[in-house]
């Protein structure tokens, strides 16, 4: 029998697969999972009810156009529903954008500690991933612009960024959009946009409304608490939407997911409660961890980036293992080239206090 077998396209096996946050611990008591930036408040009650109602018609195909969800998103944010494209999570849309605008030999830009899916999407499309440096764990416009060449086709920028939690001021985002060639797609991923309360921040929806090459991606996985359902959306110029509709799956969001997301986006009281909880406990945790000698990068998202002192002899991998044995699961960041840092989701009161007590015990 021939030893031949199908082989993937050149370069695909060189891609490092995305590794999600851990979800299990050997701890015998209550376990706090703070490794995946999930909201401790869960989804709105209205979204649960909509999901349960939709589950009674699972034999039917969903609305492939996602009309009701697109209209609900447009009404909430003051957008044109015809320029909203829904996807199986925002990851789905990031991959579609890379597939649509990158050919083998083209380049896509991300920042040094940018969301890993950006690099995977660029490489899977056959492109070259170019990493722009960050300054103090924050994207810098001039460094991104220095990476732009005639081969650049797309720029991915998470704002706020995962896993650092830092954000780029809107004036700087506009400067970036002004300076790049008009045939380069600028993708602003706002997965954590709802959590940002800074006055100098904007998710950039106005840019996507006005510019021919700016796309915004958003998710229902974070503040809306629908991570398990995988729902995301993009806002883009008409010509980019037309391309995405040509290559997306015909039923790329399930019926129950559409129903839950449509109800969730209308429940802004739930969003307000989530923001208030996050602001309170992110500040509390930052202060407590700083008091015990840890360095916390200022965050605008629902997590904090915590750095272990390099000279302490206590590195992040040991801290991650120690916390796991204490029933607290956090995210190590070796894959993000941050080997001595942890990303810790803001949880409920018990989880946040367990993080503090666990790290205080570890440091002492």
pLDDT at residue 248 above 80?
A: yes
**Is residue 361 very low, low, confident or very high in pLDDT (cuts 50, 70, 90)?**
very high
The token duo for 204 is 């950039």
CA dihedral 331, 160, 152, 242 (to 10 degrees): 110
State the pLDDT at residue 46: 97
pLDDT at residue 21 above 90?
A: no
List the one residue out of 233, 240, 206, 213 whose CA is nearest residue 154: 213
What letter would DSSP give residue 343? Answer: E
pLDDT at residue 278 above 70?
A: yes
Mean pLDDT score, 181-189:
98
pLDDT at residue 70 above 70?
A: yes
What letter would DSSP give residue 183? Answer: T
- Number of neighbouring beta carbons within 10 Å of residue 145: 15
CA atoms of 64 and 49, how far apart (whole Å): 22
**Is residue 295 very low, low, confident or very high in pLDDT (cuts 50, 70, 90)?**
very high
Record the pTM: 0.94
CA–CA–CA angle 180, 185, 189 (5° rounding): 105
- 124-137 pLDDT, tens digit per residue, is 999 999 999 999 99
Q: Which domains does the chain have, with CATH numbers?
A: 21-43+269-363 (3.90.1150.10), 45-266 (3.40.640.10)
State the pLDDT at residue 1: 60
The answer to which of 19-33, 92-106, 128-142, 253-267 has the lowest mean pLDDT is 19-33
- 309-355 pLDDT, tens digit per residue, is 876 667 899 999 999 999 999 999 999 999 999 999 999 999 999 99
pLDDT at residue 4 above 80?
A: yes
State the pLDDT at residue 38: 97
- 190-243 pLDDT, tens digit per residue, is 999 999 999 999 999 999 999 999 999 999 999 999 999 999 999 999 999 999
State the pLDDT at residue 18: 76
Mean pLDDT score, 140-164:
98
**Is residue 252 very low, low, confident or very high in pLDDT (cuts 50, 70, 90)?**
very high
Note whether 165 and 298 are within 8 A (CB). yes
State the pLDDT at residue 28: 64
The token duo for 8 is 């993937």
- What's the chain's average pLDDT? 95
- 107-116 pLDDT, tens digit per residue, is 999 999 999 9
């Amino acid at each position: 029998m021939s030893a031949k077998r199908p082989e993937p396209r050149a370069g695909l096996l060189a891609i490092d697969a995305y590794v999600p946050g851990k979800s299990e611990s050997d701890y015998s008591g209550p376990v706090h999972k703070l490794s995946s930036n999930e909201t401790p408040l869960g989804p709105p009650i209205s979204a649960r009810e909509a999901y349960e109602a939709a589950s009674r018609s699972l034999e039917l195909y969903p609305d492939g156009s996602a009309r009701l969800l697109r209209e609900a998103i447009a009404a909430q944010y003051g957008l044109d529903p015809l320029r909203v494209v829904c996807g199986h999570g925002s990851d789905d849309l990031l991959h579609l954008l890379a597939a649509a605008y990158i050919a083998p030999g083209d380049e896509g830009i991300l920042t040094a500690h940018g969301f890993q899916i950006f690099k995977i999407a660029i490489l899977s499309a056959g492109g070259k991933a170019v990493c722009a440096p960050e300054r103090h764990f924050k994207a810098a416009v001039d460094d991104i612009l220095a990476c732009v060449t005639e081969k650049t086709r797309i720029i991915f920028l998470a704002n706020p960024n995962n896993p650092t939690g830092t954000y780029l001021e809107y004036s700087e985002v506009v400067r970036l959009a002004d300076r790049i060639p008009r045939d380069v797609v600028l993708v602003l991923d706002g997965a954590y946009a709802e959590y940002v309360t800074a006055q100098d921040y904007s998710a950039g929806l106005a840019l996507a409304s006005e510019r021919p090459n700016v796309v915004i991606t958003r998710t229902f996985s974070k503040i809306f608490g629908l991570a398990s359902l995988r729902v995301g959306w993009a806002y883009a110029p008409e010509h980019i939407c037309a391309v995405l509709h040509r290559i997306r799956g015909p039923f790329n969001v399930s019926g129950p997911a559409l129903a839950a997301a449509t109800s969730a986006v209308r429940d802004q009281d739930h969003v307000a409660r989530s923001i208030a909880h996050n602001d309170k406990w992110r500040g509390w945790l930052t202060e407590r961890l700083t008091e015990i000698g840890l360095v916390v990068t200022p965050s605008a998202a629902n997590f904090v980036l915590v750095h272990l002192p390099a000279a302490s002899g206590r590195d992040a991998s040991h801290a991650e293992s120690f916390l796991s044995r204490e029933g607290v699961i956090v995210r190590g960041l070796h894959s993000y080239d941050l080997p001595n840092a942890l990303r810790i989701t803001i949880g409920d009161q018990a989880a946040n206090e367990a993080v503090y007590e666990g790290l205080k015990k570890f440091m002492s």
